[in-house]
Structure 1
Amino acid sequence: MYNYYFALASQNFLLNEEPLEEILRERTEYYQNINKDVDFWLVLDPIFLSFSKFDKNYINRNSSYAAIISLDKNFIKWLKLRIGFVSIGEFRSNSTFVPNR
Protein backbone atom coordinates (compact mmCIF):
# COMPACT_ATOMS: atom_id res chain seq x y z
CA MET A 1 0.00 0.00 0.00
CA TYR A 2 1.35 3.42 -0.97
CA ASN A 3 0.73 6.61 0.99
CA TYR A 4 0.37 9.71 -1.15
CA TYR A 5 0.27 13.28 0.11
CA PHE A 6 -0.94 16.29 -1.81
CA ALA A 7 -1.26 20.04 -1.91
CA LEU A 8 -4.39 21.22 -3.71
CA ALA A 9 -5.45 24.64 -5.03
CA SER A 10 -7.21 26.16 -7.99
CA GLN A 11 -5.39 25.75 -11.28
CA ASN A 12 -5.31 29.50 -11.72
CA PHE A 13 -3.66 30.02 -8.35
CA LEU A 14 -1.01 27.32 -8.73
CA LEU A 15 -0.21 27.86 -12.39
CA ASN A 16 -0.52 31.64 -12.72
CA GLU A 17 -0.19 33.28 -9.32
CA GLU A 18 2.57 31.22 -7.73
CA PRO A 19 6.11 30.51 -9.01
CA LEU A 20 5.28 26.79 -9.10
CA GLU A 21 7.48 26.03 -12.09
CA GLU A 22 10.49 27.49 -10.27
CA ILE A 23 9.66 25.64 -7.04
CA LEU A 24 9.33 22.26 -8.79
CA ARG A 25 12.43 22.85 -10.93
CA GLU A 26 14.50 23.62 -7.83
CA ARG A 27 13.13 20.53 -6.09
CA THR A 28 13.99 18.38 -9.12
CA GLU A 29 17.54 19.75 -9.17
CA TYR A 30 17.86 19.08 -5.44
CA TYR A 31 16.74 15.47 -5.94
CA GLN A 32 19.27 15.05 -8.75
CA ASN A 33 22.05 16.39 -6.53
CA ILE A 34 21.28 13.86 -3.79
CA ASN A 35 20.61 11.01 -6.28
CA LYS A 36 16.96 10.67 -5.29
CA ASP A 37 14.23 9.69 -7.75
CA VAL A 38 11.57 12.31 -8.34
CA ASP A 39 8.57 11.33 -6.21
CA PHE A 40 6.18 14.16 -6.99
CA TRP A 41 3.77 14.99 -9.80
CA LEU A 42 1.67 17.95 -10.88
CA VAL A 43 -1.85 16.80 -11.73
CA LEU A 44 -4.62 18.88 -13.26
CA ASP A 45 -8.22 18.07 -12.28
CA PRO A 46 -7.24 15.24 -9.92
CA ILE A 47 -9.74 12.39 -9.60
CA PHE A 48 -8.51 11.14 -6.23
CA LEU A 49 -10.37 13.88 -4.32
CA SER A 50 -13.39 11.68 -3.67
CA PHE A 51 -11.41 9.14 -1.63
CA SER A 52 -8.72 11.28 -0.02
CA LYS A 53 -8.49 12.61 3.50
CA PHE A 54 -8.78 16.40 3.67
CA ASP A 55 -11.32 19.15 4.28
CA LYS A 56 -13.73 18.77 1.36
CA ASN A 57 -15.42 22.07 2.24
CA TYR A 58 -12.54 23.60 0.28
CA ILE A 59 -13.90 22.19 -3.01
CA ASN A 60 -16.08 24.25 -5.34
CA ARG A 61 -17.50 21.84 -7.92
CA ASN A 62 -17.46 24.59 -10.59
CA SER A 63 -13.70 25.21 -10.36
CA SER A 64 -10.69 23.50 -11.89
CA TYR A 65 -8.08 22.26 -9.46
CA ALA A 66 -4.44 21.25 -9.58
CA ALA A 67 -2.51 19.14 -7.12
CA ILE A 68 1.10 18.40 -6.38
CA ILE A 69 1.19 14.77 -5.28
CA SER A 70 4.17 13.21 -3.53
CA LEU A 71 5.28 10.19 -1.56
CA ASP A 72 7.13 12.63 0.74
CA LYS A 73 4.85 14.03 3.45
CA ASN A 74 7.48 16.56 4.52
CA PHE A 75 7.71 17.98 1.00
CA ILE A 76 3.95 18.60 0.99
CA LYS A 77 4.13 20.22 4.43
CA TRP A 78 6.94 22.43 3.15
CA LEU A 79 4.82 23.37 0.10
CA LYS A 80 1.99 24.38 2.44
CA LEU A 81 4.37 26.70 4.27
CA ARG A 82 5.97 28.00 1.04
CA ILE A 83 2.80 28.57 -0.99
CA GLY A 84 0.32 29.10 1.82
CA PHE A 85 -3.10 29.07 0.18
CA VAL A 86 -3.32 25.33 -0.50
CA SER A 87 -5.22 22.53 1.14
CA ILE A 88 -3.20 19.46 2.05
CA GLY A 89 -4.36 15.88 2.43
CA GLU A 90 -3.50 12.28 1.79
CA PHE A 91 -4.77 9.08 0.24
CA ARG A 92 -3.68 5.46 0.02
CA SER A 93 -3.47 3.27 -3.04
CA ASN A 94 -2.51 -0.33 -3.77
CA SER A 95 -0.71 0.75 -6.93
CA THR A 96 1.85 3.35 -7.84
CA PHE A 97 0.48 6.67 -8.96
CA VAL A 98 -0.04 7.12 -12.70
CA PRO A 99 -0.59 10.84 -13.35
CA ASN A 100 -2.24 10.54 -16.77
CA ARG A 101 -5.30 8.59 -15.65
Structure 2
Amino acid sequence: MAQTYYFLVASDHFLQGHQTQEVLEERTRHYLAQGKAIDFWWVRSPAFLDAPQLADIRRRCPSPAAAVVSTDGQFVLWLKHRLQYVLMGQFEAPSAAIPDPLAAHTAAR
Protein backbone atom coordinates (compact mmCIF):
# COMPACT_ATOMS: atom_id res chain seq x y z
CA MET A 1 0.00 0.00 0.00
CA ALA A 2 1.32 3.43 -0.95
CA GLN A 3 2.27 5.95 1.71
CA THR A 4 2.44 9.73 1.32
CA TYR A 5 5.93 11.12 1.82
CA TYR A 6 6.63 14.82 2.28
CA PHE A 7 10.03 16.30 1.56
CA LEU A 8 12.28 19.31 1.58
CA VAL A 9 15.03 19.44 -0.97
CA ALA A 10 17.93 21.83 -1.54
CA SER A 11 21.58 21.65 -2.41
CA ASP A 12 23.46 19.25 -0.16
CA HIS A 13 25.81 22.08 0.81
CA PHE A 14 22.94 24.39 1.81
CA LEU A 15 21.21 21.84 4.00
CA GLN A 16 24.41 20.85 5.75
CA GLY A 17 25.26 24.51 6.34
CA HIS A 18 21.93 25.30 7.96
CA GLN A 19 22.13 22.94 10.93
CA THR A 20 19.65 20.50 9.45
CA GLN A 21 21.55 17.59 10.98
CA GLU A 22 21.34 19.22 14.41
CA VAL A 23 17.56 19.64 14.09
CA LEU A 24 17.17 16.01 13.01
CA GLU A 25 19.34 14.77 15.89
CA GLU A 26 17.29 16.82 18.36
CA ARG A 27 14.05 15.43 16.93
CA THR A 28 15.47 11.88 17.07
CA ARG A 29 16.28 12.32 20.77
CA HIS A 30 12.77 13.64 21.39
CA TYR A 31 11.15 10.71 19.53
CA LEU A 32 13.26 8.17 21.42
CA ALA A 33 12.34 9.78 24.76
CA GLN A 34 8.66 9.60 23.79
CA GLY A 35 8.91 6.03 22.45
CA LYS A 36 7.82 7.24 19.02
CA ALA A 37 9.01 5.59 15.80
CA ILE A 38 11.27 7.68 13.57
CA ASP A 39 9.25 9.03 10.63
CA PHE A 40 11.88 11.20 8.92
CA TRP A 41 15.10 10.54 7.03
CA TRP A 42 18.05 12.42 5.52
CA VAL A 43 18.63 11.37 1.89
CA ARG A 44 21.64 12.58 -0.08
CA SER A 45 21.23 12.63 -3.87
CA PRO A 46 17.60 11.42 -3.65
CA ALA A 47 16.48 9.15 -6.47
CA PHE A 48 12.81 10.16 -6.07
CA LEU A 49 13.65 13.42 -7.87
CA ASP A 50 13.89 11.36 -11.08
CA ALA A 51 10.13 10.73 -11.00
CA PRO A 52 8.33 12.49 -13.87
CA GLN A 53 5.89 14.22 -11.50
CA LEU A 54 8.83 15.89 -9.69
CA ALA A 55 10.59 17.14 -12.84
CA ASP A 56 9.92 20.81 -12.02
CA ILE A 57 11.46 20.49 -8.55
CA ARG A 58 14.42 18.56 -9.99
CA ARG A 59 15.06 21.38 -12.49
CA ARG A 60 14.88 24.04 -9.78
CA CYS A 61 17.10 22.28 -7.24
CA PRO A 62 20.89 22.65 -7.42
CA SER A 63 23.01 19.53 -7.65
CA PRO A 64 24.09 17.61 -5.72
CA ALA A 65 20.82 17.66 -3.84
CA ALA A 66 19.85 16.41 -0.42
CA ALA A 67 16.43 15.93 1.11
CA VAL A 68 14.64 15.48 4.38
CA VAL A 69 11.83 13.00 3.80
CA SER A 70 9.05 12.31 6.29
CA THR A 71 5.61 10.81 6.59
CA ASP A 72 4.72 13.79 8.82
CA GLY A 73 3.68 16.72 6.64
CA GLN A 74 3.47 19.10 9.62
CA PHE A 75 7.12 18.44 10.51
CA VAL A 76 8.21 19.14 6.92
CA LEU A 77 6.21 22.37 6.86
CA TRP A 78 7.74 23.44 10.20
CA LEU A 79 11.22 22.68 8.86
CA LYS A 80 10.51 24.63 5.66
CA HIS A 81 9.64 27.70 7.70
CA ARG A 82 12.81 27.30 9.71
CA LEU A 83 15.11 26.86 6.68
CA GLN A 84 13.15 29.03 4.21
CA TYR A 85 15.24 28.59 1.04
CA VAL A 86 14.23 25.02 0.26
CA LEU A 87 11.76 23.38 -2.10
CA MET A 88 8.92 21.36 -0.61
CA GLY A 89 6.78 18.63 -2.13
CA GLN A 90 5.17 15.26 -1.65
CA PHE A 91 4.77 11.95 -3.44
CA GLU A 92 3.21 8.54 -3.02
CA ALA A 93 5.45 5.49 -2.73
CA PRO A 94 6.04 2.77 -3.48
CA SER A 95 4.92 3.38 -7.04
CA ALA A 96 6.15 2.59 -10.54
CA ALA A 97 8.00 5.94 -10.65
CA ILE A 98 9.27 5.77 -7.05
CA PRO A 99 9.73 2.17 -5.93
CA ASP A 100 11.87 3.14 -2.90
CA PRO A 101 11.14 6.55 -1.32
CA LEU A 102 14.51 6.65 0.47
CA ALA A 103 16.74 5.47 -2.37
CA ALA A 104 19.78 7.56 -3.22
CA HIS A 105 21.96 7.73 -6.28
CA THR A 106 25.33 6.21 -5.51
CA ALA A 107 27.23 8.96 -7.32
CA ALA A 108 26.39 12.64 -6.92
CA ARG A 109 24.82 14.11 -10.03
TM-score for both structures, normalised by structure 2: 0.78
Change (3 A) 1:98 1:20: closer
CA RMSD of aligned residues (A): 2.1
Aligned equivalent of 1:24:
24
Greater shift in the superposed pair: 30-39 or 48-57: 48-57
Query: Aligned equivalents of 1:18 and 1:27: distance in 2?
Result: 15
Residue type matched to 2:20 in 1?
L
Moved segments of 4+, more than 3 Å: 52-55, 95-101
Q: 2:4 matched to 1:3?
A: yes
Unaligned stretches of 5+ in structure 1?
none
Change (3 A) 1:43 1:74: same
Greater shift in the superposed pair: 68-77 or 91-100: 91-100
1:68 aligned counterpart, secondary structure: strand
Greater shift in the superposed pair: 44-53 or 75-84: 44-53
TM-score for both structures, normalised by structure 1: 0.83
Match of 2:60 among 37, 58, 61: 58
Aligned equivalent of 1:76:
76
Query: Aligned equivalents of 2:92 and 2:67: distance in 1?
Result: 15
Instruction: Measure how far apart 1:50 and its partner are.
Output: 2.8
Unaligned stretches of 5+ in structure 2?
none
Instruction: Measure how far apart 1:32 and its partner are.
Output: 1.2
Query: Aligned equivalents of 1:100 and 1:45: distance in 2?
Result: 5
Aligned residue pairs total: 98
Kindly, what percent of the aligned residue pairs are identical? 36
